[in-house]
Amino acid sequence: MNRSQPHPLRIGVFDSGFGGLTVLRALLRELPQAEFLYFGDTARLPYGAKSRETVARYAVSSAEFLVRQGAEYLVIACNTASALALDDLRAAVPVPVLGVVETGANAARTHSRTGDVLVIATAATVESHAYAAACAERQLRAVEKACPLLVPLVEEGWIDHPVTRQVIGIYISELMRDAQTAVLNPDTLLLGCTHYPLLRRFIEQAIPAHICVIDSAEVTAAQVAAAVRAPHAGTQRPPHFYATDSPAKFQRLGSRFLGRPIENVELVDLESLEAC
């Protein structure tokens, strides 16, 4: 990159797959003057069921790739990687790294009056208790619930579907029972997975009306915008997309998350790059 020329701030957005595109979508709205590189590690997704060591190894190699492409700021739009590997990521790359777990917990701190928060996420995120820890650091109590069927239901396209509403109903009622057992009075529900914003309407219907639903994509974009001062550089450039599996599939499935057509996805073979 030619440092002598003024250039728009280059922000790398990383996810194991397509879900992080909900974060990119919000970022494009918040920071029209920035340039975005999106990396989806689609060959190795999902991270949600993998061990901490494996998730850290995969996330670090993906982050290093984005920095090699010129990213000056990294948004870890993958909840599992944010939960399990944020310290590894910060140690591995020389640019600021922001993860969706901390942005979610920040937003919960702002919204919650009772100090009691509910979190729904993938199995690995919940098992890491990263949200509970981030909440505790902010004097919030949290009850976490793994909802491993929601991602496959979204990916099946069963968004507005009776089975999905039933599964959401089961998960939410189990979560409310857990909150009652823990003698909590929650007023906030954190969507701890970037797929869940697509189900937000049905989650809001299943949860008691006084509980506010926080969408990690929206609050992450707002906090990135507050953290960076991107110089204005004329018209917005289209994001550049990298994927480790089929670009055609990325274009097809990703546009549902991004809310607009996706073009020019570049295939990256990280394993060969690592072997070099």
Please give the sequence-ordered ranges of beta strands (E in DSSP) within the chain, or none if there are none: 10-15, 35-40, 73-76, 97-99, 116-121, 141-146, 188-191, 212-215, 240-243, 265-267
Binding flags for its own copies, 226-255, as an x/- string (CB under 8 A):
------------------xxx--x------
| Least distance between its own copies and beta carbon 123 (Å) | 9
Give the residue numbers annotated as catalytic, written as ranges.
78, 193
Q: Is residue 54 close enough to count as binding its own copies by CB under 8 A? A: yes
Q: How far is CA 107 from CA 94, 139, 199, 220, in A?
A: 26, 13, 19, 9
Structure tokens belonging to residue 4: 């002598």
Name the segment binding its own copies (CB under 8 A); options: 93-101, 165-173, 194-202, 226-234. 165-173
| Least distance between its own copies and beta carbon 155 (Å) | 7
Structure tokens belonging to residue 96: 């600021």
Beta-carbon contacts of 99 under 8 Å, excluding residues fewer than 6 positions away, are 75, 76, 81, 82, 83, 86, 89
User: Quick one: 166 or 180, whose CB is closer to its own copies?
Assistant: 166
What distance in Å separates the CA atoms of residue 167 and residue 82, rounded to the nearest whole number? 26
User: Quick one: 87 or 271, whose CB is closer to its own copies?
Assistant: 271
Binding flags for its own copies, 145-164, as an x/- string (CB under 8 A):
---xx-xxx-xx-x----x-
- Residues 110-149, interacting with its own copies (CB under 8 A): 148-149
- Residues 11-50, interacting with its own copies (CB under 8 A): 42-46, 49-50
Q: Is residue 271 close enough to count as binding its own copies by CB under 8 A? A: yes
Number of H helices, E strands in the chain: 12, 10
Yes or no: say if 79 and 192 are a contact pair by the CB < 8 Å rule.
Answer: yes
What distance in Å separates the CA atoms of residue 26 and residue 21, rounded to the nearest whole number? 9
| Least distance between its own copies and beta carbon 164 (Å) | 10
Give contact residues for its own copies (rule: CB under 8 A): 42-46, 49-51, 54, 148-149, 151-153, 155-156, 158, 163, 166-167, 170, 244-246, 249, 271, 274-275
